[in-house]
A and B are shown apart, each in its own frame.
Chain A
């Protein structure tokens, strides 16, 4: 009896049916990032530099609060691994603010100005109140220069 009144607050059919988002990668030069909207929330798509990738790969897992290798994070759902492309949520896992990018923070990745969380160049949480890494959504490469999120 109560459930319909509770469940009506959950995402409705049309919200769930929201289409996936396609991103044209050819427009993003190396060392730059864009924000795209997917399901009403922003996503970072970053074209990483060699230095950023090396830095991210050189971190040992024991230094991480939420251990995850850079390879795991930069691999698409279809198994394609192209480390120059990093696709992840742009909402800080603390309380949802959008972190500042382009090498911000103490770990040359992202820094959330709201409550001071630092993420490294792989989007992994290194310092501050956020509990987990910036989540990587499901995405696949449609071609060399195009991905589809969702």
Chain B
């Protein structure tokens, strides 16, 4: 798709630069002339939205760090000072905390798009795997960021998540304890823990940035997938990225920022938890610990298994599966548009994921545990049983011969 460059430098400076460091050529080939399938729908705009999210998080984060103190005695106070005394501190902090939520909202939609249209299939396996790595890094970053204000949920969230590793004591006695002691830098979550979390929370976004660069690179070799899941056959099936998709992405970004602004300005704490405005207290656990909303489905999987190590393995396994997904689903047809049976299972998968999210938000007793177990079972069955089987059994329906053929036939239907 990327093919030979079509950039023609103007005489003078552009030519001089092009022979030394072809920066303008690179920008032209990746963001201006880049041939993009002409039939991308709005589900393809989340890549651009996510780039905006990452940049916003980094910028707001850098300035927040100028006012934050990573010490157990001062962290909570310093965050309150940001909220009350630092000029526009309230705005920057609410942008940063809600920005994390928006980031995850966009990444879930982006991943759901990939699952529906088969964007993880050849020749985009590495593109997909890099995406899963970014998702994992995002989870680590968000988790450590949530610890920094040193409120009750910060402290107990850190306690519960770091204690996940103590489950390895069930494999080799002492192994898990050594890991948690090493993670904490002590015998409990304490000042050394907060300090290192701050250090890593500052580092990881730049690691994400680097992996995003690889992700975009891996995208630009085979080019975009598209709603038909059929590879581009000729240049006539593409349009240049600029102005067609800069405008479309730009419009989607504006709509998305409106939603973001609605949270920041009108309900900035809607997605947070009131208990995190109570300073951390190692002696009292809040009655009902919940992680941030974007971790709830995975939290529900952790709790669905009555065994400690089992729960941890299921939770990490749920993301581990995504790495091998391109080899689990071997169906030739990429897009679920032409897979009538797989499509229904996909919708069920989305429902199961939302149900898990709900279960994770509720106290773990009674029917909630059973529902979470069923939904967890479906989550794994979808990847390990349903997709591999459907690849063999399902007959695709109405697969068009090319992108152009699909576009023309849908035009006819429309008339």
Hey, which bits of chain A sit against chain B, CB under 8 A?
A: 6, 9-12, 15, 35, 37, 39-42, 90-91, 93-98, 112-116, 128-131
Chain A residues with CB under 8 Å of B160's CB are: 95-97, 114
Chain B residues with CB under 8 Å of A35's CB are: 283
- Flag if A15 contacts B186 (CB, 8 Å): yes
30 A/B residue pairs, CB under 8 Å, sorted by A:
A6-B182, A10-B181, A10-B185, A11-B181, A11-B185, A11-B187, A15-B187, A39-B187, A40-B190, A90-B283, A94-B308, A95-B159, A96-B159, A96-B160, A96-B166, A97-B156, A97-B160, A97-B285, A97-B289, A98-B283, A98-B284, A98-B285, A113-B285, A113-B287, A115-B303, A116-B364, A129-B303, A129-B311, A130-B308, A131-B309
Q: Which of A41, A114, A116 has a CB less than 8 Å from the CB of B285?
A: A114
The docked-state distance in angstroms from the alpha carbon of A114 to that of B308 is 13
* Nearest CB in chain B to that of A94: its residue: B308
The docked-state distance in angstroms from the alpha carbon of A14 to that of B190 is 13
Which B residues from 284 to 343 make CB contacts under 8 A with A? 284-285, 287-289, 303, 305-309, 311
Question: Given contacts A39-B187, A96-B163, A116-B365, is CB(A9)–CB(B285) below 8 Å?
Answer: no
Name the interface size band of chain B. 35 or more
Inter-chain contact total with CB atoms closer than 8 Å? 91
Pick the 7 closest A-B CB pairs, nearest first. Answer: A41-B188, A97-B285, A40-B188, A95-B160, A96-B159, A95-B163, A96-B163
B394 close to A (CB within 8 Å): no
B164 close to A (CB within 8 Å): yes
- Flag if B163 contacts A131 (CB, 8 Å): no
Chain B residues with CB under 8 Å of A95's CB are: 159-161, 163-164, 166
B196 close to A (CB within 8 Å): yes
Chain A residues with CB under 8 Å of B308's CB are: 94, 129-131
- Flag if B186 contacts A129 (CB, 8 Å): no
B170 close to A (CB within 8 Å): yes
Question: Given contacts A12-B192, A96-B160, A97-B156, is CB(A40)–CB(B283) below 8 Å?
Answer: no
A130 to chain B, nearest CB (A): 7
- Flag if B282 contacts A37 (CB, 8 Å): yes
* Nearest CB in chain B to that of A40: its residue: B188
A9 to chain B, nearest CB (A): 5
Chain A residues with CB under 8 Å of B284's CB are: 98
The docked-state distance in angstroms from the alpha carbon of A94 to that of B166 is 8
Q: Which of B182, B305, B309, B363 has a CB less than 8 Å from the CB of A10?
A: B182
Q: Which of B186, B287, B307 has most A Cβ within 10 Å?
A: B186
* Nearest CB in chain B to that of A35: its residue: B283
* Nearest CB in chain A to that of B284: its residue: A98
B73 close to A (CB within 8 Å): no
B188 to chain A, nearest CB (A): 4
Chain B residues with CB under 8 Å of A12's CB are: 185, 192
Which B residues from 184 to 207 make CB contacts under 8 A with A? 184-188, 190, 192, 196
Chain A residues with CB under 8 Å of B186's CB are: 11, 15, 39-40
Chain B residues with CB under 8 Å of A93's CB are: 166
B238 to chain A, nearest CB (A): 48
